Structure 1
Amino acid sequence: MNRLTLTAVAALAVMGAAACSDREDDVVQPPAAGAAPEPVTETQAQVAQTQAAVAFGMTRQELEDADLLSAQGNTDLGDVETLVLDANGALTSIVVELEGPGDPKVVVPVAQISSVDQNGEKDLTTTLTAAQLQALPAWTPQG
Structure 2
Amino acid sequence: MVYLCDTFKGVVKAGENDSKYSGGEHANTSRVLVEELLNKKLQVSNVTILEGIFPEENQHKIAADQFRFCHIDVDVYQSAKDIFEWVWPKMSMNGIIVFDDYGSSGCDGITKFVNEEWERNDRITFYNLNGHAVIIKISKF
Task: For CA contacts below 8 A with separation 6 or more, give which structure has more relative contact order.
Answer: 2
TM-score (norm. length: structure 1)? 0.23
Q: Say which one has the larger Rg.
A: 1
Higher strand share: 1
